[in-house]
Amino acid sequence: MTDDSSGPKATSVPVVPGAWTFFRQWLKNPRATAALTPSGRQLTRQMIAQLPDGARRIVELGAGTGVFTRALIENGVAPDELLIVELNNELARLLQHQFPRSTVVNGDASDLQGIVSRSGFGAAGGVDAVISGLGFLAMPRSLQKHILQSVFAVLASDAPLIQFTYGPKNPLPRDLLDELGLRFRRAGVALLNVPPATVYVYTRSRSTPVHATRAGTAA
């Protein structure tokens, strides 16, 4: 991280390597790969702008071809302070090649607490933010719950989950957020993205910690 105490806020996005790889993975499994194309400049700027001031230790879920990863590094986040989790095998290999100094894990976001523990990425007080490109709208409620529990088990007490979704609707059910003691705000709309996307920020609404459960157990 740079010495700028104001933290990363703005970004420019270079031409995205691996876009053809991303498209091929979408063709193979469109439900598992949330987007048809890697995220655009406007969406990337809006996602990065939601990082807390001085954020250093970041987890990225569903990194795809690394558009957000690249922007995080351009905006001062040290590569070795990034934990990148990607479920797709081929995209994970691409990310490992592009970001050799970062911790890249080919794994499931619902096991994030275990991934953080096994990788040694965990730190006292938790991580500063989680950035997500996961396709929550395509998931059953039980999987949404397991992922949220695991995410907030590794986040610091006031740290955010920053998520984008296609269209204006909150991708997570209000009753699930209430159950887990979470609140949300709509942080921005990227109308120039293809397709248009909305950025949401989720934080704890109470001090009670959100405990993770093993994926596959009853919701």
- Domain residues of the chain, as ranges? 37-204
What average pLDDT score do residues 152-178 get?
Answer: 94
> How many helices and strands (H and E) does the chain possess?
7, 7
What average pLDDT score do residues 184-193 get?
Answer: 92
Q: What is the pLDDT of residue 39?
A: 58
pTM: 0.78
Q: Please, are residues 195 and 173 in contact by the beta-carbon 8 Å criterion?
A: no
Q: Please, are residues 54 and 68 in contact by the beta-carbon 8 Å criterion?
A: no
Q: What is the pLDDT of residue 41?
A: 86
pLDDT bin (cut points 50, 70, 90) of residue 193 is: confident
Residue 177: exposure state from Cβ atoms within 10 A (0-12, 13-18, ≥19): middle
pLDDT bin (cut points 50, 70, 90) of residue 168 is: confident
Q: Which fold has domain 37-204?
A: Rossmann fold (3.40.50)
